[in-house]
Amino acid sequence: MKPWIRKSRKTVLQDRWLSLHADECELPNGRIVSPYYVIEERDWVHVAAVNAEGQILLTRQYRYAAGVMTSELPCGIIEPGESPLDAARRELKEETGHVARDWTQVGVLFNNPARYTNRLYCFLARNLTHQSPQALDDTEQIIWEFASPDEVMRKIASGDFCQALHVATWSLALQWMAAGNG
Amino acid sequence: MKPWIRKSRKTVLQDRWLSLHADECELPNGRIVSPYYVIEERDWVHVAAVNAEGQILLTRQYRYAAGVMTSELPCGIIEPGESPLDAARRELKEETGHVARDWTQVGVLFNNPARYTNRLYCFLARNLTHQSPQALDDTEQIIWEFASPDEVMRKIASGDFCQALHVATWSLALQWMAAGNG
């Protein structure tokens, strides 16, 4: 199985949030595919933060594209020059005011490698302390709460915890803890 | 917590694969956010197909945007007028030649509700029969194989099974089976 070859690229949009490219690709069998859309976004972090009682820290916010209120994990973009772990610490603190003493990277996934270039760094954070108020900018409105693993499963089933990428991170954190690491 | 209001929309791109819109939004606090990018894609299906030995059916293919060979689940776009279950049956058969007697919808998630409008229908397929050759179009090259749940976990850890959305579907299927349904 061989990679595709990029024959040309037309950039449809390029700005600080994302870039969209329409590529002309040659497949290993000689077939040309055009346009094939590629979207570049910056890498992301997700934080599964678990307290001493085994409860998970959820954030609740409005998600505009789908027009839904969702329960999610603390998450965000890795800023230029920032390490994934530093971004994870920052997002957890900004969105919930919590800091964690123990951090484990439980996986590195792709957002969607068919369409997107960016990676998703998945962290488990434990030994939590609620240290400070949230530090949100004026485009963010986030409520945080703790929920048991059973409550998270019910929120997935009911459609309240409905972000597929966050379900992936939560499952990796659960499996890491179930494997005797926690 | 209130929804945002769309004040205006500029469509940057619209074609059969995706649409990209740059919206001007008014937040509940009166703040204007512009541009806020919204991407429309069609809804997708994922199939966690499990055989009598508990092995999972994986597909292996080249994913152009990220430039990686990945192991994934059978998946695809729901065609206009098609039900999610019919799309799941079709994709499983086209990509692997397998049919399944037992189908369970184990979840409906959003791809990424902050940016995308589309949903992801997650199915568990059991009682499998290998019925026919693959029916791929000439832009697809897909190899299928069965792997045990432990092998899937190792493939996630090694970065071979690296599609976050597919990790989510596999975790929902595993949890559904572990809950005594399987």
Q: How far is CA A69 from CA A87, B4, B47, in A?
A: 24, 11, 27
Which tens digit of pLDDT belongs to each residue from B71-129?
999 999 999 999 999 999 999 999 999 999 999 999 999 999 999 999 999 999 999 99
pLDDT tens digits, residue range A37-69? 999 999 999 999 999 999 999 999 999 999 999
Q: Give the B window 27-46 contacts with A, CB below 8 Å.
A: 27-29, 31, 33, 35-39
Per-residue pLDDT for B182 more than 60? no
Q: How far apart are CA A89 and CA A98, in angstroms?
A: 9
**Partner A contacted by B136 (CB < 8 A):** no
Cβ-proximal residues to B1 (8 Å cutoff; 6+ apart), any chain: A60, A61, A62, A69, A141, A143, B28
DSSP state of A43: -
Instruction: Give the total residue count for chain A.
Output: 182
Site of tokens 């099974």:
B161
pLDDT at B138: 87
pLDDT for residue A130: 97
Q: Which of A113, A120, A157 sits opposite B70 (nearest CB)?
A: A113
pLDDT at B93: 98
pLDDT tens-digit series, residues A114-140 = 999 999 999 999 999 999 999 998 889
CA A118/CA A63 separation, integer angstroms? 20
Mean pLDDT of A146-163: 96
Residue A181: per-residue pLDDT: 73
Token pair 């019925």: residue: B131
Structure tokens at B151: 């092998």
Q: For A65, which of B12, B62, B115 is closest by C-beta distance? A: B115
Residue pairs between chains A and B whose CB atoms are closer than 8 Å: 180
Mean pLDDT of all residues belonging to chain B? 96
Burial group, residue B33, by CB count within 10 angstroms (0-12, 13-18, 19+): middle
pLDDT in tens, A5-20: 999 999 999 998 899 9
Residue of chain A with shortest Cα separation from B105: A157
Q: Is B53 on the interface with A (CB under 8 A)?
A: no
